[in-house]
Amino acid sequence: MTVKIGVLALQGAVSEHIKALKDSGAETIAVKDASQLEELDGLVLPGGESTTMRRLMDKYGLFDAIKIFAKKKAIFGTCAGLILMAKEIEGRKGPHLGLLDIDVKRNAFGSQVDSFESDLKIDHVAESFDGVFIRAPYIKKVGPGVEILSTYNQHIVACRQGRFLACAFHPELTGDTHFHEYFVKITKENK
């Protein structure tokens, strides 16, 4: 069974996500319009700057459409995408999409100059995965229905809650498709 997964194309490494999804066996498109969501089985919310992405989602009529889409479909958020999916964000009143029962800290590992890579063990994904952290958040706390998939220095950096998957790093920048393959599997199971 083939699934069609879109990548929200407002900012971030959209083409890299598209390539990783294609290499993982999915059909894919860059999503710039809410009407495109109707043809999709899953959606990737890429990295970028979460506040800017939210403004652009509002501007292009995507915010409410993604909330409706999320009621039945699979979503994978990376870095800023994780922040958009969180129910609680440190220092902000209220969530953006509020899909994942998690509490996140933005820019938790420092600014752009503090970016780094680290070898991670990610449950269900890989024993060894190169985590690329760029102004990355981390997950401070998870709710009872959230599975922790990976940690770095005792901080949660990847999780899953049902059809929702999220990570604090950038798997699309590594050339390793294991994480995207896992999302394709989740999307197929949800279809």
* Distance from C-alpha of 39 to C-alpha of 27, rounded to nearest angstrom: 11
Q: Which two tokens mark 179?
A: 């994480």
48 annotated to bind ligand: yes
Active site residue 167: no
Residue from 16, 79, 96, 159 carrying the catalytic annotation: 79
135 annotated to bind ligand: yes
25 annotated to bind ligand: no
Sign of the torsion formed by the C-alpha atoms of 97, 98, 99 and 102? positive
Please give the distance of CA 81 from its chain centroid, rounded to a whole number. 4
Phi, psi of 35 (to 5 degrees): -65, -25
Residue from 17, 159, 167, 170 carrying the catalytic annotation: 170
Please give the distance of CA 2 from its chain centroid, rounded to a whole number. 21
Q: Residue 68, Cβ neighbours under 10 Å: how many?
A: 12
Q: Which two tokens mark 48?
A: 């970028």
Active site residue 159: no
106 annotated to bind ligand: yes
Residue from 96, 172, 180, 181 carrying the catalytic annotation: 172
49 annotated to bind ligand: yes
CA angle 74, 75, 76 (to 5 degrees): 130
Q: At what angle do helices 178-190 and 14-23 cross, to 10 degrees?
A: 70
Q: Which residues are catalytic?
A: 79, 170, 172
Which residues does the annotation place in the binding site for L-glutamine? 48-50, 106, 134-135
Which residues does the annotation place in the binding site? 48-50, 106, 134-135
